[in-house]
Chain A
Amino acid sequence: MIAETGLAALWLAAALAALQLVAAWAGIARAETDLVRLVRPVAVTQGLLTGFAFLMLMLLFLRSDMSVALVAQNSHSMKPWLYKFAGTWGNHEGSMLLWVMVMGLAGMGIALFERSLARDTHIATLGAQALISLGFYAFLLFASNPFARLDPAAADGQGLNPLLQDPGLAFHPPTLYLGYVGLSVAFSFAVGALVTRQVDAAFARAMRPWVLGAWVMLTLGITAGSYWAYYELGWGGWWFWDPVENASLMPWLAATALLHSVSVLATRDGLRAWTVMLAVVAFSMSMVGTFLVRSGILTSVHAFAVDPRRGSFILILLALYIGGALALFALRVGAVREGNRFEAVSREAMLVINNLLLSVLLGLVLIGTLYPLLTEALGTKVSVGPPYFNSVAGPIALGLMVVLAIGPVTRWRRDTLRSVARRVAVPALVAVAVLATVLAWAGGWIGILPLLGLVAAALVGVASLAPLWGRNLRRTPLFTYGMVLAHLGCAVSLAGMASESAFSVEKLVAARPGDVIRTAGWTVRFTSVQPVAGPNWTAMEGRFDVSQGTGKVQEIRPQARFFAEPPTNTTESALLTRWNGQLYVVLGDSLDDGRWQLRIWWKPFVTLIWAGGGLIGLGGVLSIIGRWGRGWRRLRRRGQAESYA
């Protein structure tokens, strides 16, 4: 019954989406006020129904209902409950239902909480949201029904891929999806504004919290995914330039650009057409990302739950929506009047440079990701990996950091080079000092990109605090703190990346229990290997007593796990975190003579990479709260003024 109820809720939600679209269209094109009143309640109901359907699927997973095909293929009754719960979205159908639910809830959010948008644009936005949702309902109901029954029911399930049986599964995919789908809201806003021809500062102020929210989720999702891959894969790397990683990076780059151009539009009413264009691009990147991940068209180390047939469905949706939006843009861009102008030295100009660099970076990542497809169509197989991406993305990222140092201390509209130079003088001096220190102390050449990375991190780290200089810290608005924190996070993260690539020490040995390994100031004593068992796995567990210098001895236990359902080996690395870095130990294969392969890394300040990501996300959250507070107060004042009148 549960499965049927869930399926019915989905069909009903799809029907409501159709109604929402028709009502919105009738309201805009024919001014039929009766129908228009339907739009918002329908959007809310639709959101609730998708949430209900998702809960039903979750319930099926928690109860291990093996008469449902999806549960039988992806779950197992012996699995810990956390992975039954998170396993709901650890497969294709479930993750698409998650996507649809987030989209439904986002539509509900627009209907309930959006107050500052002009009424017609609001209705058109909801219409656009319904139109996008319809495509995904069709995809879910016709091509990937999560509620399909299995007759006869399976005796037990086939289990979840053990690499996914990690607490990371509970957090990483949902946040990333919130981000992906959050960008659909920006897309709908852009379409709505194009339909009603109201692209202006008020529109940007209404759109900004949504963009910020989606961007925060993408940031946190990527950060969490990077850390997960880092400790789960046991390769010691935190970013592999894998197509699936790029698929999450590209929407993030577009969203970052959009975030900054929206702020120009909201504050100075400039960059109107460009902002609308970026909103379309950002959601396109979400869909390209989903397509790449779901279709498995590119070789990926993160290829899970892949189904090539379904890829073409997403590709068609992608072509329809993006093509439609671009056509609308081309038709209406003439009606979008040019916004306010600005000087060549101004905050706006800096943000334009930021946007250009981000767009170029996005283009380079996109080209690199799709290039293998292009050449394969022409008959040669190539792979594009870190050498390409590092060599093109590195310089542009460094350029971005320079703009990031200068932009926030540049005035809106007009500024002079001389006063800007004065404001960045101190950070620049700090950067030079860091350059000299690294050259003197690093004990050898550490490579151009890591070196420049450390210097840029110092520059931005100091410069990001500059907007707070000479201000009354208690009266500084919350969103300024948000910006400062996010920019500081970029510096922190970059410092971690540069330090990791410049100063990591790797040691690869074969050792037997009793051996002592010394590397990078650490003493690693291999004490024993013990068999251990978990709820649905068995493992060989290495025991190591480790100490740094003469510091206290701690035990760490890396494992080599074996899962029976499905039969798979996984490596559970052991991490020991200190304030200045992480010790990373992997237990490899056992050799015939009783030795074990060990892989040991000391990674100085590697944790800064994810701490920086967290700071960036926190900065975004502060900005949302700050903007919300201000919008609220403005609304209240307006309300009071009206009541006095």
Chain B
Amino acid sequence: MKGKHQRLILVSVAIVALIGAVLLAMSALKDQAAYFYTPSEARAKAVAPGTAFRLGGMVVKGSVKRASDGINIRFEVSDGKGSLPVAYAGVTPDLFREGSGVVADGALRPDGTFEATEILAKHDENYMPRELEGMKYDEETHKIEQKPQ
């Protein structure tokens, strides 16, 4: 690295690295970013089975069913305009309840069931996932209202 302009060389290397990083990030984001859908959005977008996305909505009252092995559970997630059946194997987070908000990572099976690989926990009983802001569950009518955002 002889020559007068080592600084220039270093700066160009840095710029090349920077552009490389941005390109790498963009291509990785295209493949790996998971979209967030509520059940009705997932239906409207006709998400292909196997494509990972994040599902958010309310756990429908009375829909949680446990299999006899004690591990597999199924429940319905609804956003008031549509609902999706969800299957999950594992221990649900402490704040997972019927009639309460839930966010799950996973993908659709060919039969249209959302297979959750992870159910995201909240740390705080007042905390609502940002994606679900404005959703409210009506205890009496079992209806979900969505405030305009």
Contact = CB atoms under 8 A, between A and B. Distances in A.
A307 interface: no
B69 A510 contact: yes
A4 interface: no
Given A274-B10, A304-B123, A338-B6, 13 more contacts: A163-B124, A273-B7, A297-B130, A301-B121, A306-B127, A342-B1, A360-B17, A363-B18, A368-B29, A383-B34, A383-B36, A384-B32, A392-B28
Majority DSSP secondary structure for residues of B touching A: mixed
A508 B91 contact: yes
B46 interface: no
Q: Which 10 pairs of residues, A with B, have the shortest CB-CB distance?
A: A510-B70, A588-B91, A381-B36, A388-B32, A569-B94, A360-B21, A387-B32, A367-B25, A382-B33, A363-B21
Nearest to B126: A566
B17 A359 contact: yes
A297 B133 CA distance: 12
Contacts of A371: 29, 33
A367 B26 CA distance: 9
B28 A388 contact: yes
Nearest to A303: B127
28 contacts: A161-B123, A233-B121, A301-B121, A301-B122, A303-B124, A303-B127, A304-B123, A304-B124, A352-B10, A356-B14, A359-B17, A364-B21, A364-B24, A367-B29, A375-B33, A381-B36, A383-B36, A383-B105, A385-B105, A391-B32, A508-B91, A509-B70, A509-B71, A569-B95, A589-B92, A591-B70, A593-B70, A597-B91
Interface string B81-105: 0000000011110110000000101
Interface string A359-403: 110011001100100010000111111011001100000000000
Given A161-B124, A356-B14, A371-B33, A589 B91 contact: yes
A509 B71 CA distance: 6
Nearest to A363: B21
- Identify which of B92, B124, B129 gathers the most chain A CB atoms within 10 Å of its CB: B124
Interface in A518-576: 566-571
A344 B9 CA distance: 11
Contacts of B71: 508-510, 597
A593 B121 CA distance: 26
Contacts of B6: 338, 341-342
B49 interface: no
B6 to A, nearest CB: 5
A599 B90 contact: yes
A344 B89 CA distance: 54
Contacts of A341: 1, 6
A595 interface: yes
B70 A382 contact: no
B77 interface: no
| Interface size band for A | 35 or more
A591 B66 contact: yes
A416 interface: no
A578 interface: no
A343 interface: yes
B140 interface: no
Nearest to B25: A367
Contacts of B130: 296-299
Contacts of B1: 341-344, 349
B108 interface: no
B131 interface: yes
A382 B25 contact: no
Contacts of B20: 360
Given A304-B124, A344-B1, A338 B7 contact: yes
A510 B25 CA distance: 42
Interface of B: 1, 6-7, 10, 13-14, 17-18, 20-22, 24-25, 28-29, 32-37, 52, 54, 66, 69-71, 89-92, 94-95, 103, 105, 120-125, 127, 129-131
Nearest to A586: B91
Nearest to B8: A338
- Identify which of A342, A510, A569, A571 gathers the most chain B CB atoms within 10 Å of its CB: A510
Interface string A229-256: 0000111000000000000000000000
Contacts of A163: 123-124
A593 B125 CA distance: 28
A197 B10 CA distance: 22
Contact of B125 (A235, A359, A383, A568): A568
A387 to B, nearest CB: 4
A636 interface: no
A302 interface: yes
Contacts of A589: 91-92
B106 to A, nearest CB: 12
Interface string A270-283: 00011000000000
Nearest to A274: B10
A542 B15 CA distance: 57
A546 B22 CA distance: 50
- Identify which of A368, A381, A566, A597 gathers the most chain B CB atoms within 10 Å of its CB: A381
A363 B24 CA distance: 11
B21 to A, nearest CB: 4
Nearest to A270: B6
A308 to B, nearest CB: 10
B107 to A, nearest CB: 12
- Identify which of A299, A342, A360 gathers the most chain B CB atoms within 10 Å of its CB: A299
Contacts of B37: 381
A349 B10 CA distance: 10
A356 B17 CA distance: 7
Interface in A330-359: 338, 341-344, 349, 352, 356, 359
Contacts of A161: 123-124
Given A387-B52, A508-B89, A595-B70, A363 B94 contact: no
B13 A599 contact: no
A351 to B, nearest CB: 12
